C-alpha cells in the first residue's frame, strides 16, 4: 500500500488527516506531561520539538493560548469549551468515528 493510499484511507476512517491526528496526539500528551509537573521546556523536548518556542507556537495555534496559561486555567477550574473537528463528507462510511476533542482556552 502506498503512503498516499494509507493517508486517504486514514482520513476516510477518522475524518482527519494523519498530520492533524499526530499533532493532536502530541498535544494530548503535552497536556498530560504538563499536568504531571513537567516544565514547558521539558515537555517540548520530551515530545521532540526542536525548541520551546516551536512547541509554544504549536500549542497556542491549536489551543488559543500558551501552555502555562492553559494549565493555570485548568488548575483554577476556569471554563473551557470543547472543539470538535469538522465532519467530512466522504463516499466511504466509517466504521467508527474517533473524535479528538481538545479543550480550548477561552479568550476574553
Domains in the chain: ranges and CATH? 15-80 (1.10.10.60)
For residue 37, the model assigns a pLDDT of: 87
Q: Looking at the predicted structure, is the pLDDT value of residue 72 above 70?
A: yes
* 18-32, 50-64, 67-81, 89-103: segment of lowest average pLDDT: 89-103
Measuring CA to CA, how many Å separate 37 from each of 21, 46, 48, 75, 92?
25, 13, 18, 12, 43
pTM given for the model: 0.65
Look-up of cell digits 484511507:
9
For residue 40, the model assigns a pLDDT of: 96
* Sign of the alpha-carbon torsion through 94, 32, 106, 76: positive
For residue 74, the model assigns a pLDDT of: 78
Segment 15-32, tens digit of pLDDT? 999 999 999 999 999 999
Name the strand (E) or helix (H) holding 75. Answer: helix 67-75
Amino acid at each position: 500500500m502506498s503512503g498516499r493510499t494509507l493517508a486517504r484511507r486514514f482520513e476516510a476512517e477518522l475524518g482527519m488527516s494523519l498530520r492533524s491526528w499526530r499533532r493532536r496526539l502530541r498535544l494530548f500528551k503535552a497536556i498530560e506531561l504538563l499536568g504531571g509537573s513537567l516544565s514547558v521546556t521539558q515537555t517540548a523536548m520530551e515530545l521532540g520539538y526542536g525548541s520551546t518556542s516551536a512547541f509554544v507556537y504549536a500549542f497556542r495555534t491549536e489551543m488559543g493560548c500558551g501552555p502555562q496559561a492553559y494549565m493555570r486555567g485548568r488548575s483554577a477550574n476556569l471554563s473551557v469549551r470543547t472543539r470538535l473537528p469538522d465532519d467530512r463528507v466522504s463516499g466511504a462510511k466509517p466504521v467508527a468515528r474517533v473524535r479528538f476533542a481538545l479543550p480550548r482556552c477561552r479568550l476574553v
